[in-house]
């Protein structure tokens, strides 16, 4: 006899519970049954009823409620960018101040969206759908080696060691009891190493449009490999995209990020975006003691003083500041643009950033380096 098939009206709710499991939520079969019973009891008239029924029966932890809402919106076809609540979106998106009427720059912005070869400061809001392809060997190598290879720092917790700066008093006394109270040797502790925070700032302006999708896929790999990773996009707005990139499935993560960012392929205002990043206390703490990587060509229009000041302040907070630009073609690269020349004294590395292989190679070589 063939197995009985589930009614079509039930499949979408059961598949939602399976989607939560694939993204790390602990959902028991009994909770799925309670979810279906709650929906039948409510006789839902809107998606909000289903959302609340799922929150009550599937019990997502409070710290992952934003991820639950994002998966719900993706699964049930909500079109708005809803990884976060509206108030959280306002907190994670900073729109830069407009300067002048922008009449000339708007024409440049339209040309920029076609060619991607010049920089403009005008704001052009563009929707973009990012492809979730698997990526090449470089991204797979980064996923395998990130935890073991990326820079570490000394944590506050301690671990047993043959040599260390702290005495393991508990273990020393326990062994002295076995030897009639004699202390034969002092057991040692040392501070446990932890992965250093990594901050990734991605330029999504029109001049970087050829690399935008690849850079976002690389950012997803980093966020999945390192819990301490933070990712922002820079253009005419500053947008924190870490929450959507925490989704395990790359297609869903990039879809959510594409809805959250609204200035794809627009103008270039790197200096003001970095200043906005430093002006928000919650954001600037992400750079303290972190490995900071800026993926940008540095094609900034107008006065470069804002960019110079922002990079200088960012370098004071960071453990190491690297600027990865597609304009660099080799290890002996010397900055040619005025913007890169202005920030060169404050940047530890100006290295090639035009391919996944170059970026991954630089990331995996950061651990032996010292803070500048």
Which CATH number covers residue 305?
3.40.50.410
Residue 85 has pLDDT above 70, yes or no: no
Using pLDDT thresholds of 50, 70 and 90, give the confidence band for residue 316: very high
Percentage of the residues of the chain whose pLDDT score is greater than 70: 81
Residue-wise pLDDT tens digits, 288-307: 999 999 999 888 766 688 89
Given this model, what pLDDT does residue 115 score? 40
Residue 100 counted as domain residue: no
Highest mean pLDDT: which of 57-66, 120-129, 222-231? Answer: 222-231
Domain coverage including residue 70? 8-79
Establish if 103 belongs to a structural domain: no
**Residue that the structure tokens 């996009």 belong to:** 233
pLDDT digits (tens, 9 = 90+) for 174-202: 888 888 777 778 888 777 778 889 999 99
Q: What is the pLDDT averaged over residues 44-67?
A: 85
> Residue 101: is its pLDDT beyond 50?
no
Least confident of 38-52, 86-100, 251-265, 331-345: 86-100
**Dihedral sign from CA coordinates of 165, 171, 174, 179:** negative
269 in the same domain as 172: no
Based on the domain organization, do 224 and 355 belong to the same domain?
yes
Distance set, CA 289 to CA 119, 207, 282, 286 (Å): 31, 30, 14, 8
Strand pairing class (320-325; 291-295): parallel
Name the residue with higher pLDDT: 58 or 96.
58
Based on the fold, state whether residues 121 and 174 are members of the same structural domain.
no
**Of 136-140, 265-269, 324-328, which range is least confident?**
265-269
**Closest to 276 measured CA to CA, from 316, 318, 309:** 309
Residue 145's φ and ψ, nearest 5 degrees, are -105, -5
Same domain, 119 and 173: no
Q: Are 284 and 317 in contact (CB under 8 A)?
A: yes
Distance of CA 239 to the CA centre of its chain: 10
Who wins on pLDDT, 117 or 244?
244
Radius of gyration of the chain (CA): 25
The DSSP call for residue 212 is: H
- Starting at the edge strand found earlier in the chain, the sheet holding 152-161 runs 152-161, 188-195, 166-167
DSSP string, 147-166: HHHS-EEEEEEEEEESS-SE
Residue 93 pLDDT exceeds 80: no
Q: Does 27 score more than 70 pLDDT?
A: yes
Please give the Cα distance from 185 to 96 (Å, whole number).
62
Number of H helices and E strands in the chain, helices first, is 16, 10
Query: Is 80 exceeded by the pLDDT of residue 319?
Result: yes
CA distance 93 to 81: 12
Residues 176 and 237 in one domain: no
| Residue 371 or 70, more confident | 70
- Say if residue 207 is in the same domain as residue 324: yes
Q: Which residues pair with 323 in a beta bridge?
A: 294, 350
- Residues 55, 203, single domain; the answer is no
Residue among 28, 72, 75 nearest 53 (CA): 72
pLDDT of residue 86 exceeding 60, the answer is no
66 near 84, Cβ under 8 Å? yes
Q: How many domains is the chain built from? A: 3
Mean pLDDT across the chain: 80
pTM for the full model?
0.68
Q: Do residues 65 and 202 share a domain?
A: no
The reported pLDDT for the residue numbered 285 is 92
| Per-residue pLDDT at 233 | 93
Q: Are residues 182 and 282 in the same domain?
A: no
Provide the sign of the torsion angle of the four alpha carbons 255, 69, 244, 312, taken in this order: positive
């Amino acid at each position: 006899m063939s197995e009985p098939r589930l009614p079509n009206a039930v499949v979408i709710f059961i598949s939602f519970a399976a989607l939560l499991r694939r993204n790390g939520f602990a959902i028991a079969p009994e909770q799925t049954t309670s979810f279906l019973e709650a929906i039948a009891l409510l006789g839902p008239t809107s998606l909000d009823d289903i959302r609340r029924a799922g929150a009550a029966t599937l019990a997502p932890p409070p710290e992952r409620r934003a991820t639950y809402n994002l998966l719900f919106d993706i699964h049930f076809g909500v079109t708005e960018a809803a990884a976060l609540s509206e108030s959280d979106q306002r907190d994670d998106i900073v729109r830069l101040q407009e300067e002048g009427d922008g009449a000339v720059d708007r024409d440049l912005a339209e040309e920029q969206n076609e060619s991607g070869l010049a920089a403009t400061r005008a704001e052009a809001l563009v929707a973009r759908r990012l492809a979730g392809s698997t990526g090449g060997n470089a991204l797979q190598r980064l996923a395998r080696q990130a935890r073991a290879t990326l820079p570490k720092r000394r944590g506050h917790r301690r671990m047993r060691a043959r040599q260390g700066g702290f005495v393991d008093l508990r273990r020393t006394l326990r062994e002295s009891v076995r030897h009639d109270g004699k202390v034969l040797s002092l057991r040692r502790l040392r501070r446990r190493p932890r992965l250093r925070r990594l901050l990734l700032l991605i330029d999504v302006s029109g001049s970087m449009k050829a690399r935008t999708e690849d850079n976002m896929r690389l950012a997803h790999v980093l966020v999945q490999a390192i819990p301490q990773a933070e990712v922002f996009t820079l253009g005419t707005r500053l947008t924190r995209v870490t929450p959507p990139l925490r989704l395990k499935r790359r297609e869903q993560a990039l879809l959510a990020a594409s809805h959250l960012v609204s200035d794809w392929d627009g103008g270039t205002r790197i200096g003001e975006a970095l200043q906005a990043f430093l002006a928000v206390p919650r954001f600037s703490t992400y750079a303290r003691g972190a490995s900071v990587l800026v993926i940008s060509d540095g094609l900034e229009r107008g006065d470069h003083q804002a960019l110079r000041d922002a990079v200088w302040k960012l370098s004071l907070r960071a453990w190491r500041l690297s600027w990865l630009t597609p304009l660099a073609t080799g290890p002996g690269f010397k900055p040619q643009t005025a913007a890169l020349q202005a920030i060169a004294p404050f940047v530890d590395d100006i290295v090639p950033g035009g391919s996944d292989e170059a970026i991954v190679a630089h990331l995996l070589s950061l651990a032996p380096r010292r803070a500048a």
